[in-house]
Amino acid sequence: YFLLNQSNLKPRKLEGTAYFLATSQDAYAYIRFERNISFAYSTSACLSFSSIFLSLSFSVFSLSLIGRSSFHSSTTRRPQMVVVVFLVGLLALSISAADEWSSYHSHDQLVRKLADINEKCPDVTHLYSIGKSVEGRDLVVIHFSTTPMGHDILKPEMKYVGNMHGNEPVGRELLIHLSDHLCQGYVAKDKDVMSLLNSTSIHILASMNPDGFEKAMNTPPAERGWLVGRSNANNVDLNRDFPDLDAIFYDVEKLKIPRYDHLLELFADDKDHQPETVAVGRWILSQPFVLSANLHEGDLVANYPFDTAEGTDESIYAKSPDDGTFRWLAQTYSANHAHMAKNDHAPCDGSAADNFARQGGITNGAKWYSVAGGMQDFNYLATNAMEITLELSCSKFPEGSQLPALWEDNKNSLMEFMWRIHSGIKGLVIDGETGEPVKEATIWIKNATESNPIKHPVTTNVVGEYFRLLPVGSYEVIVEADGFEPASKKVNVTNAARDSAQIVHFALSPVPEEQQLLQQLQEEEQQPVEEEEDPEQLERVLAQLAEPRSMAEEEEQ
C-alpha cells in the first residue's frame, strides 16, 4: 500500500499510548469488505430490479386504464397513449428517486447504497471498513480517487466524518448524498467533479456511530429528547473519548518546551477507549490526511480549534497557532452555505450570545463551550491534518422530508470546502546528493509580518512529501531535518490554481560526517558529567589531611 513499510502493516499496541501511537512507518491496512459488498451488490440489484418492475407495472396499469377508455377510439390516439404511458413510467421512477432522499437510510441501507455507488463507479471508488462498532456494525468508508486503494504523490487526502453522535443523522445523509453526487458527476463527465477527482483523494465515513443511530432511529420521535442515541452502545460520548492532547499542548507551553505538533507520543492514560474511537484514531494516524470536517447537528455554525480552554471549563476563546487559517477554512463553509452566514434565521438556542450568523457563521470551539477529548483537536495536535466541526441543523433529528432542502443548503459548501485542500503549498523534500526522500523533515512557516514561525510545523512522510494549508499571503518556508543543513525559501502564496497548491520542493544538503561528529561531541560536552567516586582514594586523602606536617610542608602545600 502507499507510504508504508509493507512488512509492518499490523496494528501495534505501544505501552502508555492507549492504542493510538503510530510512527511514520506504521499503518493499518484496509480491511477487505467482500462479504458485505457481495451481499450489498445482490440486494442492491434486487432493489433496483424491483424499482423498475414496479415502474413498469404502474405503466402497464396506466396502459390498461387508458386502453379501456380508448379501445373503441380512433387508432390515431395510440401514439398519444404510448407517450402518456412513457411519461407515467418516468414519473414513477422520479418519485422513487425522490423518496430515497426524503427518508433516513438504516445501516444496512447505507451499506447497500454505498455498494451500489461503488458498482456504478468502480474506476473511481473503493469500499473499505476501518473497524466495527460495539454491536458489530462495520464503520464503512467510501474512497473516491482516480487511483482508488492507492495514493498518488502530491495528491492530497481529505476526509468527511458524519454521525459521530448517533442522534445527529443529517450529516450522515448528506455524506451518502454527496457520494452519490460525486459518482453521478463522474458518470456524466461533469467538469467540476472530474477535476476534483483528478486532483483529490476523498474518504467519506458517513456514520461513525451506527449503533447510536439505530437506537435513535428506532425510538419514537417524542421520546428521543436531546440525548437518546447520542452516545455509542456503551453509553460513551465519542467526541469526549479521544486523547486529550490540548492538556499536553498547554503543559509543554507552560514549561517552555519547544514541542508543538504530533503530541501523541507524549500522551499516556489507562483509559479503555471505545472501539469506534480506536478505529477512527488508527485511521487518522495511518493516512496522510491534510483536510477534514466532522459533521454534527444541534446548531448552524462552523466550529474551529481549539475546542478546549486552558485550565477552565468557562467559555473563553482558545486560540490555536493556526487560528487565522482555521477561521478562513470555517468561513469557506459558512459563506457557501445557503443560510449559515446570513442573518435570515434566529439563533438555534434563542440567545444573543450564540447568534453565530452575526459572526459570519463561525465560532471558536472553546468560546462556544469547552470540550476535552474531542476529535477535531486530536487531528490537529496528533497529525498534519486540519479539521473543523460543522453544525448543520438546529434540529438534531429533523423529519426526513426536510433532507432534500438540507442537501440543497449544504451542497455548495461541501464541494467548496473540499477544494480548499489545494490551498497553500506542497512539495517533496529530498537528499540533494542522492535524490532519496527525506522523511520526518520538519516544515516551519513564518508569516512575513511575524518574527517567529507559526508554532505548528508539519512533517514529511516516508516519501518526503508534505502539504501545508495556508491562506493568501507572503511566507518564509523553513525546512529542518537530522543530518542535513537547514534550508528556507520565501513564497508568495496566491491560491490562484483551483486544483493544486503551489509546489515548493527542497533538496537538502547533507551535513558532512565530520561536522555531524563535531556537533554530537559538542552536545555531549554540554551535558554534565558525573565522575565516579573512588573510596580508596578518598581514604588516602583523609589520611593525608590527618597526618601532622611541618611548617615548611604546610607553607609548601
With vertex at residue 475, the alpha carbon angle to CA 471 and CA 480, rounded to the nearest 5 degrees, is 115
**Residue 372 half-sphere exposure toward CB, CA atoms < 13 A:** 13
- CA distance to 184, 275, 555, per residue, from 279 (Å): 30, 6, 79
Q: What is the pLDDT of residue 523?
A: 64
Contact 18, 267 (CB under 8 A): yes
Catalytic residue among 391, 465, 532, 539: 391
Task: Return the pLDDT at 313.
Answer: 80
Residue written as grid cell 438504516: 106
Tell me 420's DSSP state: G
Q: Nearest 5°: CA angle at 445, between 443 and 448?
A: 155
Question: HSE-up of 43 (CA within 13 Å, CB side)?
Answer: 14
Query: Cα–Cα distance between 296 and 164 in angstroms, integer?
Result: 7
Cell representation of residue 141: 468508508
Residue ranges, the chain, pLDDT below 50? 1-79, 81-85, 88, 90, 92-95, 529-533, 538, 541-542, 545, 549-557
C-alpha cell at 63: 396502459
Single-letter code of the amino acid located at 150: G
User: Do residues 474 and 493 touch, judged by C-beta distance below 8 A?
Assistant: yes
Residue-by-residue DSSP string for 221-249: HHHHTTTTTTS-TTS--GGG-S--HHHHH
pLDDT reported for residue 28: 33
135 catalytically annotated: no
What are the phi and psi torsion angles at 354 (to 5°)? -105, 30
Buried b (16+ CB within 10 A) or exposed e, 71-82: eeeeeeeeeebe
- Per-residue confidence (pLDDT) for residue 98, from 0 to 100: 58
Rg of the chain on CA atoms, in Å:
30
Joined grid coordinates for residue 253: 507551553
Name residues whose C-beta falls within 8 Å of residue 105's C-beta, 6 or more positions apart in sequence: 113, 172, 173, 176
Q: Give φ, ψ of 412 to 5 degrees.
A: -65, -40
Global pTM? 0.79
Read off the DSSP letter of residue 435: -
Phi, psi for 64 (deg, rounded to 5): -65, -40
Pairing of strands 289-296, 386-393: parallel
Cβ atoms of residues 469 and 290 within 8 Å: yes
Q: Order of strands across the sheet with 289-296? A: 125-132, 138-144, 201-205, 157-162, 289-296, 386-393, 299-304, 362-364
Amino acid at 335: A
